[in-house]
Amino acid sequence: MKFLRHVGKHGDRKIAVIFREIPGEPHMCLVTYTETLNQHIHDPMMAAIESDIGQNSENLADALNRTYTKDGTVILQKLHAEGLLKKVNTETVVMTPASNATIKLSELNKILDEMKMGEEAVKKLADMDKSMGLQDPVDVARRMRGNKSQQPVQSTGDALGDQALASNLRQQAERMEREAKGLLAEAARLSKEAASLDPVKVEKTKAKKTAAKSKVNA
């Protein structure tokens, strides 16, 4: 049995859930009614949903921001521009990942949020156990830099959609800032611990730096 994320119903109308939670309003979501979309939008959007990128995206908006309509427009921008995004209560949305499986979006969000918190805790412990608290510099740089291959969504004049996307980006920026502060604090702690364990090496390092500086000044 094949499960398909991001699809469901609002009443008796088929929808695709673009954002399963609106930042600041977790009881609301953004959807588009798939049966009202013209073929130039509908077909590539459904292909994006069924793709690995779509199925691995936490929010469908991430995949649609990298997918184009048949006339060459970014699908997410097209949905904004034509007023095809609707804000609805998650209690009224039923997800239909398979023909014999349904679940309210409000319940699904709660489960996914709890799973995410658990997975993050497990991953953090695993990383600490693997590297004794040290972070992979490449991974740190990647997370702090972000994925630059993804083009940002431009403002379309749709206040609701733009506000949701802006809030989402702000949350990402705040999370990255917290991670950066945490990494700097961890680096300082590790340096202090290293100095207490091997003070001789620290003194040698300082001596080398002093000698090098003296040569430069000379």
Q: What is the mean pLDDT of each run of 10 residues along the chain (218 residues)?
A: 87 96 94 95 96 93 94 94 96 91 91 78 63 53 52 52 69 75 75 70 58 58
Nearest of 103, 16, 80 to residue 6 by alpha carbon: 16
CA 184 – CA 167 distance, rounded (Å): 26
CA 108 – CA 202 distance, rounded (Å): 53
- 13-70: pLDDT as tens digits: 999 999 999 989 999 999 999 999 999 999 999 999 999 999 999 899 999 999 999 9
Task: Record the pTM.
Answer: 0.55
Beta bridge partners of 15: 8, 33
| Distinct helix (H) and strand (E) counts, the chain | 8, 6
| Domain boundary assignment for the chain | 7-217
